[in-house]
Homo-oligomer: A and B are copies of this chain.
Amino acid sequence: MKKVVLAYSGGLDTSFCIPYLTLEKDCEVHCFSVNTGGFSDEELEAMESRAMQLGAASFEAVNIEEAFYEKCIKYLIYGNVLRNDTYPLSVSAERVFQAVEVAKYAKEMKADAIAHGSTGAGNDQVRFDLIFSSITPECEIITPIRDNGFARAYEIEYLNKVGLEWSAAKGTYSINQGLWGTSIGGKETLNSRHAIPSEAYPSQLKETDQTSISIGFEEGTLVSLNGEKLAPIQVIKKLNDLAADYAIGRDIHVGDTIIGIKGRVAFEAAAPMIIIKAHQLLEKHTLSKWQSYWKKQLSEWYGMFVHEGQYLEPVMRNIETFLEDTQDKVNGEVFIKLFPHRFELEGIDSPNDLMDVPFGKYGEEQGAWTADDAKGFIKILGNASKIYYHKNKEDQL
C-alpha cells in the first residue's frame, strides 16, 4: 500500500482525490492542509471531518502564516514587489510555500508519494512539482486530475457515489484567499475586454469617511499600525480589515505565465498595496539612488521567480540576502489617508531621512556649494557628450 501525502485544500478536486486514491489506487491517503491565512478554524474543522469521512488515513493542518511572512512576504515588501507593476503575487507566492510545507511533511512521514489536485492546464502544477522534485526527489508525484483529465461532473458523481454530497452548482468566479490577498478568476477574466463587476470582489465598500493611518517600519519590517506595536502579521491583518472597508486594493493582473500563455486575474489586496507603497516611499527618503536602482532590478527578478515557482533557484537566497542588507536604514513612520477605493501617501517621519539634513535642501539657496562649484560640476559632467558631439558633428540635433 502506497503512503501518500495529499496537499489538501478542501475543494472539489482534492476531496475527490481522497476516495479515488484510496479505492482505485490502493493508497493510504494522509491529508495535509497548509493554511496561509485563508482558512478560519471552522473551515479547517469542516475540512478535517470531510477528509476523514472520505476515507483519509489522517488529517493534519498547519498554519504557516508566520513562516510565510518570514520567508517570503518580508522580501516581497523589501523589494516592493508588484508583478508587472500591478500584482502583489497574492496567490502565487502562497502556493510555493504550501508546496514547501507539504514536501517537509512528506519527508517527515516518509511518504512514498505526494498527491495534489492540479490540472495540466495551469501554473499551480509547476509551482508544486518544481518544489517537490528538488526537496523530495524520492517521492513520486501523483496528480489524478491532471493525469486523467477528470471533469467536474465526474468528480461530483464519484463523491456522491462514495457518500459525500457535493453541490453541482458552481460559482461564477473561483476565489483564492490568503494572507497577501485574494484572487478572483472567471467569466470576464477569460477575455481581455471587461473588468469583473464590483460585486464580484469579496470586500464591499462600507466606509465612506476618509481616515488617516500610519504604518511603522524598523529595518524595513512592519512594526506598528497607528502607533500600536504589533507583529508583522497583525499589522497586515488589522490593516486589511481597516482598508477592505474602503474597498481599496482592487485591480486586474495581466501577465505571462511560466507555461508561456498570457493570464488575466482580478485580485483584491488592500493591505499589500498600502504596505508596499508605504514602504517604497520610506525607501525613497532613506536609500541612496543606486540602492533603489539595484533593489528594483533584483526585486523584479525575485517577484518573477516566486510567481513562476522557481523559488528554489539558488540565486533567490542571494537576492534575499541583498534585499535584507539594504534595509537597515529603512526606519520610520509612513502616513497614509484612506478614501473609498483609494489611498494617498501623505509623507514620512524617519530618523534616517536623507532630505532632512542641514545642507542641500532641494530648490533652496544654500551653502553646501557655490555657483562655481555647480558650474564646474556641470562642465565636467558634460565632457563625454561634448567630446562625442565634437567628434561626430553630424549627430547634432
B315 touches A294 (CB 8 A): yes
- Given known A147-B371, A384-B260, contact A192–B353 (CB-CB < 8 A): yes
A242 at the interface (CB under 8 A from B): no
- Given known A129-B382, A349-B192, A377-B381, contact A284–B260 (CB-CB < 8 A): no
A254 at the interface (CB under 8 A from B): yes
A321 contacts across to B, CB distance below 8 A: 321-322, 325
Of A12-20, A37-45, A133-141, the one contacting chain B is A133-141
- Given known A135-B396, A254-B284, contact A371–B149 (CB-CB < 8 A): yes
A257-295 contacts to B (CB < 8 Å): 257-264, 280-281, 284-285, 287-294
CA distance A346 to B321 in the complex (A): 33
B318 touches A387 (CB 8 A): no
Residue among A292, A350, A366, A380 facing the most chain B CB atoms (10 A cut-off)? A380
A368 at the interface (CB under 8 A from B): yes
- Given known A345-B252, A380-B374, contact A366–B315 (CB-CB < 8 A): no
Of A57-65, A159-167, A231-239, A335-343, the one contacting chain B is A335-343
A194 at the interface (CB under 8 A from B): yes
User: Copies of this chain, how many?
Assistant: 4
Closest beta carbon of chain B to A391's beta carbon, Å: 6
A349 contacts across to B, CB distance below 8 A: 192-193
Closest beta carbon of chain B to A278's beta carbon, Å: 13
CA distance A125 to B357 in the complex (A): 22
CA distance A9 to B298 in the complex (A): 41
B390 touches A357 (CB 8 A): yes
B372 touches A376 (CB 8 A): yes
- Given known A195-B347, A263-B362, A389-B312, contact A368–B354 (CB-CB < 8 A): no
A11 at the interface (CB under 8 A from B): no
CA distance A144 to B185 in the complex (A): 42
A294-353 contacts to B (CB < 8 Å): 294, 296-298, 300-301, 305, 310, 312-315, 317-319, 321-322, 325-326, 329, 335, 339, 341-342, 344-350, 352-353
A397 touches B122 (CB 8 A): no
CA distance A67 to B358 in the complex (A): 34
A374 contacts across to B, CB distance below 8 A: 120-121, 125-126, 146, 259, 376, 380
A353 contacts across to B, CB distance below 8 A: 192, 391
A260 touches B380 (CB 8 A): yes
Apart from A122-B363, A263-B362, A354-B387, list 15 A-B contacts with CB within 8 A. A84-B284, A121-B362, A133-B386, A135-B397, A143-B375, A192-B347, A260-B381, A260-B387, A312-B389, A318-B325, A321-B321, A341-B342, A357-B387, A373-B375, A374-B380
Closest 10 CB pairs of A and B: A376-B376, A260-B383, A373-B376, A120-B371, A260-B384, A256-B289, A263-B362, A377-B380, A261-B360, A290-B315
- Can you list 25 A-B contacts (CB < 8 A)? A120-B370, A120-B374, A121-B366, A129-B382, A130-B381, A134-B389, A135-B396, A143-B371, A190-B361, A190-B364, A191-B355, A192-B348, A256-B288, A256-B292, A262-B355, A263-B363, A291-B318, A318-B322, A322-B322, A354-B391, A357-B391, A360-B383, A369-B380, A370-B376, A372-B376
